Amino acid sequence: MKKAPFYARGLRFSCTRCSSCCRYEAGFVFLSRKDAEVLAKELKLEYTAFVKTFCRWVPVPGGVQLSLKEKADFDCIFWENGCKVYGSRPLQCRSFPFWESIVLSETGWKDLDCPGKDRGTLHSPDVIESYLGQRREEPVFRKET
């Protein structure tokens, strides 16, 4: 019998729009092919022009993965007094904090340093698992080396 996840009763989270996950620190916003296509369309660019202008390839074991670039101050390339592409933002942004690395264990959730954690909207296990499933269906775009 499979053990119920620690979030079996749901998790509370409401974004406070503090922007800490979008700014101030180096990090990666990994994109699926679909994410890149949606953003290219939003910006009225050809796919290859979008990737060349706004993305970088990040080395990972066995290959490289597509990520958005950052500004020199580590802000997301689309941050300007708020997200310029909010309606078309990547799955990684839309699904935060319901990432496998965070909700795989109760410790991951407890270690999350975000003012929206444990506040506001109760997200059901179905909603959380929907985000996890969406990432499996839309994996980060990766090139093998």
What are the tens digits of pLDDT across the range 113-141?
Answer: 999 999 999 999 999 999 999 999 999 99
The per-residue pLDDT for 20 is 86
Cα separation, 104 vs 7, whole angstroms: 9
- DSSP reduced 3-state for 114: coil
The reported pLDDT for the residue numbered 23 is 86
**Alpha-carbon Rg of the chain, whole angstroms?**
16
Instruction: Give the closest residue to 116 by CA, choosing from 31, 46, 15.
Output: 15
Q: How far apart are CA 42 and CA 5, in angstroms?
A: 36
> What pLDDT score was predicted for residue 2?
77
Q: Is the pLDDT of residue 106 over 90?
A: yes
Peptide bond into 97 cis (omega under 30): yes
